[in-house]
Structure 1
Amino acid sequence: MLPEPYRLRRSADFSATVRGGRRMGRRDLVVHALEREAADSLVSVNGPRFGLVVSKAVGPAVIRHRVARRFRHICAGLIDAVPVDTDVVIRALPGSATASSRELDKQLRSVLRKLDLLAGEGDPV
């Protein structure tokens, strides 16, 4: 599970990341990434922070919660690979409801590599 300090919680953080960050998408997800400023006094975590947006378009509550759990698990494995000063918002698209965890992981890592946030990782896509 994704530890609490590595989660985006405030609406302002989500908005800043979505509006000011770089964006890239794949079939089942869209990723927004923003490098935090060193002067951001409200951020005390020494690591990346991840936020999830799973709308009703993905499916009923049971499906949305399953998709969110999968993404939280994937993000927990990326804490050491993503730069510490980065906020990442993952927006699940409707296809994520039927995609396997492996496929979602592959798509997320692909996007993060394209955004130069997983440069040192050696997993081929």
Structure 2
Amino acid sequence: MLPEPHRLRRHSDFSVTVRRGRRMGRRDLVVHAFDRGQVEALVVSGSGPRFGLIVSKAVGPAVIRHRVARRLRHICADLVGQVSPDTDVVIRALPGAASATSAELARQLRAGLTKMNLVVPVSEEP
């Protein structure tokens, strides 16, 4: 479960992240990231990155959307300690996310964040 301080809740936070942040598209996800530290008015008390999810009806019926959201929240909880603390991240699930495995979603999210230099890549063990 993603702890409360690491969740994006307000519509304005989602809007700022999507409109003013950087975007990286993947096969089943679009990752939007915004550095709160660059804008003084948006500095939020508390430490750590904040994550938000957008899972539309295009992904599938409610059961599938909730399954995708649960998987993404779990992945985000694992990334909390590896993402820059002043970062807001919004993950938009695309229709392919419904059939993707959790490992594929995690790999795509990590790849998007790594490409934006927001997370340190995990070294693969032989």
Whether TM-score is above 0.5 comes out as yes
Give SS of 2:58's match: helix
The alpha carbon displacement at 1:40 in A equals 3.9
Partners of 2:46 and 2:117 in 1: CA distance: 21
Q: Which residue of 2 aligns with 1:47?
A: 48
CA contact (8 A) 1:50 1:75 kept: yes
Cα shift readout 1:52-91 (whole Å, capped 9, x = no counterpart): 0000000000000000000000000000000000000000
Q: Which residue of 1 aligns with 2:32?
A: 32
Unaligned runs of 5+ in 1: none
Partners of 1:23 and 1:62 in 2: CA distance: 27
Q: Which residue of 2 aligns with 1:77?
A: 78
Identity across aligned pairs (percent)? Answer: 67
CA contact (8 A) 1:18 1:89 kept: yes
Partners of 1:21 and 1:42 in 2: CA distance: 15
Which amino acid letter does the alignment assign opposite residue 8 of structure 2? L
CA contact (8 A) 2:36 2:43 kept: no
Q: Which residue of 2 aligns with 1:97?
A: 98
| Divergent runs of 4+, >4 A | none
Which amino acid letter does the alignment assign opposite residue 102 of structure 1? A
How many correspondences in the alignment? 123
Cα shift readout 1:98-125 (whole Å, capped 9, x = no counterpart): 0000000000000000000113x3245x
Superposed CA RMSD: 1.3
Give SS of 1:91's match: strand
Cα distance change, pair 84–42 in 1 and its aligned pair in 2 (3 A) = closer
Partners of 2:123 and 2:63 in 1: CA distance: 31
The alpha carbon displacement at 1:42 in A equals 6.5
Give SS of 1:110's match: helix
Q: Which residue of 1 aligns with 2:62?
A: 61
